[in-house]
Amino acid sequence: MCAGDDKNCPEFELHHRKFKETLDRERRSFLRSSFAAAGGAAAMTAGGISLVTPQMAAAAEKNQPATRSYHHLPANADTVHWGYFSKKLKPQVEIDSGDFITIEALTHHANDDAERMVKGDPGAESVFLWTKEKKGVNRRGAGPMDASLFGRGAGEGLGVHICTGPVYVRGAQEGDVIELRIIDVAPRPCANPQYPGKAFGSNAAAWWGFHYKDLLTEPKPREVVTIYEVDATGVRIPIRPHFGVIGLAPKEADIVDSIPPSYTGGNIDNWRIGKGATMYYPVAVEGGLLSVGDSHASQGDSELCGTAIECSLNGTFQIILHKKADLVGTALESLDYPMLETKDEWLVHGFSFANYLSELGDKAQSDIYSKSSVDLALRDAFRKMRRFLMTTKKLTEDEAISLITIGVDFGITQVVDGNWGVHAVIKKDIFAGGDT
Amino acid sequence: MCAGDDKNCPEFELHHRKFKETLDRERRSFLRSSFAAAGGAAAMTAGGISLVTPQMAAAAEKNQPATRSYHHLPANADTVHWGYFSKKLKPQVEIDSGDFITIEALTHHANDDAERMVKGDPGAESVFLWTKEKKGVNRRGAGPMDASLFGRGAGEGLGVHICTGPVYVRGAQEGDVIELRIIDVAPRPCANPQYPGKAFGSNAAAWWGFHYKDLLTEPKPREVVTIYEVDATGVRIPIRPHFGVIGLAPKEADIVDSIPPSYTGGNIDNWRIGKGATMYYPVAVEGGLLSVGDSHASQGDSELCGTAIECSLNGTFQIILHKKADLVGTALESLDYPMLETKDEWLVHGFSFANYLSELGDKAQSDIYSKSSVDLALRDAFRKMRRFLMTTKKLTEDEAISLITIGVDFGITQVVDGNWGVHAVIKKDIFAGGDT
């Protein structure tokens, strides 16, 4: 029997009519399920639809103390780890699900202009201290402690971000999801009395930038540092204060370079991870072990030259733990990547390798630097968005694919962090539906 | 002499002070030139800063008649060319610079649901007519007329878009720039009395889609057509009516496949090319020869599954010619790609190959389908944005690169049109500057 598309079939008319009827039925059902009804299935909150349903919120609350505590984690030589994540790190603070915490993040580029970004600041001075007599933070990077590889000191600089933490979340275990609400983000004031009331950031156009082998003017190649004054009230440059690095500890290795982002987050470098945003991270080790670093005053999609405006920031967060058992049938079931929710949008993060630590084998931490492409990251972002729409919004694969092509925007997150990133953005109001 | 960075240099203190002084001077000058003064150099219009300076506007006006004419170009078998651009095409209409014109565009996917998108519409019926007795439009594609390649009929289907045009702009010559203002975009009403007041579009998840070899559910592989009803007043799906194809005729070949976009525009597939936007195209042949097609009701960045919501639209445009001699020292001098300006943004369009017809040699029109990557398109978009900032905004290369990394967003335009696209977006208010 022809599918209604072969005019030479003796029963073409009948088959074609049946085909059209089926098409009509499927079409109507698609329109109803995805655009009208799906909105009803998701929870409506003051800020719009959230991935957290009322049921999930209630389940999470059962694991929270009656009152919320507020914590403050300063950045200094004792509270930071430099250039790596590790499940072996001693937690700097233990918190309960639902608690609030302000975390100070120091830019690892502060020494690009120590006068403006280190001097007079006890926390920053303790971290950057490195004289013949004393080194404030010994390990800098995920490399060997005896510097046997390149002789660049303990950790070998394999991983660069000054991360504050980790924060241990009571009750967090592998398979759970940590919800991180970014309540506030504020620039770290300059502590040098010469620059009262100012804050500064640095942008380095560096050898790992996408532009580096493609320069026009001499001398080639070159690295260039530009120091920016942060003016949160001005409009000259779009101010997008955010954290390049927020992540949990992966389970695959004890010491993990902080540069390539992966399934537990880390150096995602998406400028949307700022005030008002909520991140969801899959928990891989007990307590989650959340750390924050690589703070940015501003960045564009791609972070093309290798850095943003690197700038110390203080962030205030609320951290909520969702237990694995409470995620069944929800949008966050089996979440295996860092997902972003803003007031109006959902974003999935694709990487050239979704979990490079497990995909690339023993040498993953070095191989990742030579294997990435935007094409691979786009492939991963597509797959994650398709799964999101199929699981969260109960679309069929074909409905999901059609919706992706017409309603999802793919942007280039970064091409400078070893494991390159592409994000896929879908607006929530597509699902708000109704007969408007 | 050390550069002020070697603490072992006997004159370190002196060198370091000099280095810092130079840095301060450069920094101040950068901030002043790019963020404050540059705004003054560009023209302020009602819609914000435009690439067209008052001088350019005056020069263009000298070549315009005293009064503006309004033209209407319908879409029918006589006014469309199917699947290709050609400098040899007979113009459908001749206009003067400054004139307004409404151009009807027919989606080449109308036959996906002929009941809703062809039936009762004389223009569409004349175009799609293909019976044993008569074929409304003989050539469909850039291939040979004798169908000696695949036996798929004249033109061989190498190129698919129904393009309305070309429009001949009096006085346009190679090296000039055509400014195309998109005044209005409206869906083509369904002409079938069964569907009064409706308009429809089609989305095909097709074999050339990015998803096609990556399907989850059976039967694999498969193609899926989804018919959408256009509701310009609703909010269920973001309505982004725009033209996938608007372009001038290239000079490199007589018949050019309409699928891969290139330096004179064509199938850019950027959903921002809609109402209120202005496009700038470099003129390659006399009269420019502008054609319009591939109209879309909606699309996301990437057009992942191979098509948008394909939907016939009528567009109203104003076309302004800028002579080469008037472009010296302006943002549009030596423009060699299609550039987009919206109320708030400028966009440069990068492609895997900026001008594939000249770069890929004799077999360019077939080879382009196997050589593209997002990485290459990102490289091209980076270079174009760098040049734009250096020429338009008079930044140094280092200033341009720093600004790109912190203030420019790179998005994936499409990965399905042979010559893949990445666009770079910069907001105009970065340059509006001043001491606010």
User: A234: nearest CA in chain B?
Assistant: B436
pLDDT-above-70 percentage for chain A:
86
Tell me how close the Cα of A397 comes to any Cα of chain B, in angstroms.
7
Q: Is the pLDDT of residue A261 over 80?
A: yes
User: A214: nearest CA in chain B?
Assistant: B383
Instruction: Kindly give the interhelix angle for A374-392 and A397-407, rounded to the nearest 10 degrees.
Output: 120
pLDDT of the residue at B213: 86
Tell me how close the Cα of A61 comes to any Cα of chain B, in angstroms.
33
- Whether residue A203 lies within 8 A of chain B, CB to CB, comes out as yes
Tell me how close the Cα of B63 comes to any Cα of chain A, in angstroms.
37
Q: Do B224 and A373 touch (CB under 8 A)?
A: no
Residues 6+ apart with CB under 8 A from B424: B347, B348, B350, B381, B382, B384, B385, B404, B408, B409, B410
Residue type, B301: D
- Whether residue B429 lies within 8 A of chain A, CB to CB, comes out as yes
At residue B7 the predicted structure's pLDDT band, cuts being 50, 70 and 90, is: low
At residue A35 the predicted structure's pLDDT band, cuts being 50, 70 and 90, is: very low
Q: Do A398 and B237 touch (CB under 8 A)?
A: no
Tell me how close the Cα of B298 comes to any Cα of chain A, in angstroms.
6
Q: Is the pLDDT of residue B90 over 80?
A: yes
Residues B223-240 have pLDDT tens digits of 888 888 877 556 466 678
- Whether residue B398 lies within 8 A of chain A, CB to CB, comes out as yes
On whether the CB atoms of residues B275 and B384 are closer than 8 A, the answer is no
At residue A258 the predicted structure's pLDDT band, cuts being 50, 70 and 90, is: very high
**Among A305, A406, A416, A420, which would you mutate to test the B interface (most chain B Cβ atoms within 10 Å of its Cβ)?**
A406
pLDDT of the residue at B67: 93
Q: Do B300 and A405 touch (CB under 8 A)?
A: yes
Give the rounded distance of the alpha carbon of B255 from its chain centre: 19
- Whether residue B295 lies within 8 A of chain A, CB to CB, comes out as no
- Whether residue B307 lies within 8 A of chain A, CB to CB, comes out as yes
Backbone φ and ψ for B265, nearest 5 degrees, come out as 95, -130
- Residues of chain A with Cβ-Cβ distance to B234 below 8 Å are 436
Q: Is the pLDDT of residue B23 over 80?
A: no
Backbone φ and ψ for B154, nearest 5 degrees, come out as -55, 125
DSSP per-residue codes, B29-95: HHIIIIIIIHHHHSEEETTEEESS-HHHHHHHHHTS-SS--EEEE--STTTEEESEE-TTSPPSEEE
Residue type, A290: L
Q: Do B410 and A412 touch (CB under 8 A)?
A: yes
User: B201: nearest CA in chain A?
Assistant: A406
Residues B260-300 have pLDDT tens digits of 999 999 999 999 999 999 999 999 999 999 999 999 998 99
Mean local confidence (pLDDT), A124-135: 96
pLDDT-above-90 percentage for chain A:
71
- Whether residue B13 lies within 8 A of chain A, CB to CB, comes out as no
Q: Is the pLDDT of residue A90 over 90?
A: yes
Tell me how close the Cα of B196 comes to any Cα of chain A, in angstroms.
17
Tell me how close the Cα of B375 comes to any Cα of chain A, in angstroms.
6
At residue A433 the predicted structure's pLDDT band, cuts being 50, 70 and 90, is: low
What count of CB pairs under 8 Å joins A to B?
Answer: 216
Of B126, B89, B134, B87, whose CA–CA distance to B104 is shortest? B126
Backbone φ and ψ for A65, nearest 5 degrees, come out as -60, 165
pLDDT of the residue at A17: 64
Q: Is the pLDDT of residue B385 over 50?
A: yes
On whether the CB atoms of residues B162 and B128 are closer than 8 A, the answer is no
**What's the CA gap between B256 and A229, in Å, rounded?**
50
- Residues of chain A with Cβ-Cβ distance to B396 below 8 Å are 217
Long-range contacts of A394-397 (CB under 8 A, 24+ apart): A394/A33, A394/A38, A394/A41, A395/A30, A395/A33, A395/A34, A395/A38, A396/A30, A396/B217, A397/B215, A397/B216, A397/B217
User: B222: nearest CA in chain A?
Assistant: A398
Q: Is the pLDDT of residue B1 over 60?
A: no
User: B272: nearest CA in chain A?
Assistant: A409
Backbone φ and ψ for A413, nearest 5 degrees, come out as -70, -55
Tell me how close the Cα of A177 comes to any Cα of chain B, in angstroms.
25
**Among A131, A405, A436, which would you mutate to test the B interface (most chain B Cβ atoms within 10 Å of its Cβ)?**
A405
Question: Which residues make beta-bridge pairs with A17?
Answer: none
Predicted TM-score (pTM) of this structure: 0.82
Q: Do A27 and B227 touch (CB under 8 A)?
A: yes
On whether the CB atoms of residues A343 and A423 are closer than 8 A, the answer is no
- Whether residue B396 lies within 8 A of chain A, CB to CB, comes out as yes
Q: Do A300 and B406 touch (CB under 8 A)?
A: yes
- Whether residue A68 lies within 8 A of chain B, CB to CB, comes out as no
- Whether residue B401 lies within 8 A of chain A, CB to CB, comes out as yes
Q: Which of A23, A301, A407 sits opposite B238 (nearest CB)?
A: A407
User: B114: nearest CA in chain A?
Assistant: A20
Tell me how close the Cα of B21 comes to any Cα of chain A, in angstroms.
12
pLDDT of the residue at B430: 84
Q: Do A237 and B35 touch (CB under 8 A)?
A: yes
**What's the CA gap between A368 and B61, in Å, rounded?**
56
Helix (H), strand (E) at residue B126: helix B122-128
Instruction: Give Rg (Cα) of chain A.
Output: 24
Tell me how close the Cα of A75 comes to any Cα of chain B, in angstroms.
25
Q: Is the pLDDT of residue A48 over 80?
A: no
- Whether residue A115 lies within 8 A of chain B, CB to CB, comes out as yes
- Whether residue A148 lies within 8 A of chain B, CB to CB, comes out as no
Q: Which of B27, B305, B309 sits opposite A404 (nearest CB)?
A: B305
User: A406: nearest CA in chain B?
Assistant: B299
**What's the CA gap between A389 and A408, in Å, rounded?**
11
Half-sphere exposure of A378 (CA within 13 A, CB side): 30
